[in-house]
Amino acid sequence: MEVILDMAFPFLSSEWMDAARAIRAKYQDQAPKITAVIRINQVITDVPFGDGTVKSYMDTSTGAMNDQAAAMQAFMGGKIKVAGDMMKMMALQTQMPQTDITAKVAEEIKAITE
C-alpha cells in the first residue's frame, strides 16, 4: 500500500499510523539505535473514529506530542494519568537519543498530524 506523506491525517487514525510508520521506515538506517525498552498501554478518550481504547484526552495527546510544556501541564493537571513503574518511564527522558535525524522524524510526524 502506498502511503501519502504530503498531507495531514487525524491523530492516531489508520492513515496517520501508516504515514508515521512510513516516516520511521524511511529513516530506519540513519536513526540511532534505541537502547531503552518500555511497553506502555495508552488509553485516549473522545477519539473521533474507530473502536480503539487508548486513555488520555484527545486534545491532550496531540498537544503533548507537539509541546513538551503542554505535556507536563496536562500531566500535572490530571489529564494524563500514569500507572505502573513511574521511575522507568521518567528515566526514558534521558535515554532517548536526540539527533538531527530524530528531530527530522519528529518534524515530519508533526507535519502529517491534524
Phi/psi at 25 (nearest 5 deg)? -65, -35
pLDDT in tens, 9-25: 988 888 998 999 999 89
The gap between the terminal CA atoms of the chain, to the nearest Å, is 21
**Angle at CA of residue 7, ends 21 and 56, nearest 5°:** 60
**Model-wide pTM > 0.75:** no
pLDDT per position as a tens digit, 64-113: 556 677 777 877 787 777 777 777 777 776 766 778 888 898 889 889 98
Scanning the structure block, which residue is given the C-alpha cell 524511511?
Answer: 26
Domain edges within the chain: 1-33+98-114, 36-96
Q: Which residue blocks in 1-114 are alpha helix, DSSP H?
A: 14-26, 58-66, 68-76, 86-95, 100-111
